[in-house]
Amino acid sequence: MSDLFFYFLPFIVGGAISGIVCGLFPFFLAIKRRRPWLGFIALNICVACGIGLGAILAFPIATSFAAAILLTQPREPKRKRVRIPATADVQEVESLT
């Protein structure tokens, strides 16, 4: 049993490394476009696919995630909410917005 484990260990580790390398591109692309959750999903799926079939499967998955990230619109930063006092008149409200 231990011989079989040591036989498959390099394939598992090498596949995980190739999955990480392939998954880093969509991960950083998603971070740049303000969609970190999509980057984490892409990285995890690329690592799982890399363990399964190596870079043969991890690279196409990474390119498809990169295309999906590029085709979606980047998120805009949230605007600060301005609190308008109840006693403010129209000119004060226009100056706050």
Predicted confidence at residue 68, as pLDDT, reads: 93
Domain ranges of the chain: 2-74
In 11-41, which positions are buried (b, 16+ CB within 10 angstroms) versus exposed (e)?
Answer: eeeebbebbebbbebbbebbeebebeebbeb
Q: What is the pLDDT of residues 14-70, one digit of tens each?
A: 999 999 999 999 999 999 998 889 999 999 999 999 999 988 999 999 999 999 999
Higher pLDDT, 5 or 36: 36
Does the predicted model carry a pTM greater than 0.75? no
